Amino acid sequence: MRPNHLFVCDHALYDTRNANWSHERPLRPVYSGSYRTIQNTHKLRAALRYGKYTDMGGYPLYFITTDGCALSFDSVRRNLRLVTDSVRHDYQDGWGVVAVEVNWEGADLYCADSGERIPSAYAEPDSDEDSN
C-alpha cells in the first residue's frame, strides 16, 4: 500500500509533503504505465503497477517473453526475481519480458508458466450459449 503523501500523476510518482511538489521533478518519472515494449526493469515494474487491464476499455493485458511466449501478470509477480534478472541481463531463458500486449481475440492464450488462461477482449465464452 502506497502512503497517502505519495501521489501518481501522468504515470509519475510525486511526494506531496512539499508544498511545491507539482513544480518539482517526480520521485519516479516512470512509476506506473502500460508500455508496449519493455527495455528495462523500471518499465517492467511500472507495467505491473499499472495492472492487468487497460484503463480505457478494461482490455486484458499479458506479457510477451523473448521466446514469444505469453506470461500472465500473476506469473510475472510470482517470479519477479527471475523476470527482473532476465530483463536486466538480457538473458534468453524464457523469463525475459520484452513487451506488454492486449489479448484481443486469443480465446486459447495460456500462460507459459502457470497454464492459466489469459482472458481476451472479444473471444470470451458466452455464458448464455454455454447454458443452452
Q: How far apart are CA 41 and CA 47, in angstroms?
A: 10
Domain-located, residue 72: yes
| Position 131 confidence tier, pLDDT thresholds 50, 70, 90 | very low
Quote the pTM value.
0.84
Identify the weakest region by mean pLDDT among 27-36, 75-84, 111-120, 123-132: 123-132
> How large is the average pLDDT for residues 88-110?
94
Domain-located, residue 132: no
Co-location of 49 and 20 in the same domain:
no
Cα→Cα distances 126→25, 29, 88, 119, Å: 48, 41, 41, 13
Percentage, residues of the chain above pLDDT 70: 94
Domain-located, residue 129: no
Range(s) of the domain holding residue 76: 34-124
> How large is the average pLDDT for residues 66-94?
96
Sole residue written with cell 526475481: 81
**pLDDT in the model for residue 13:** 92
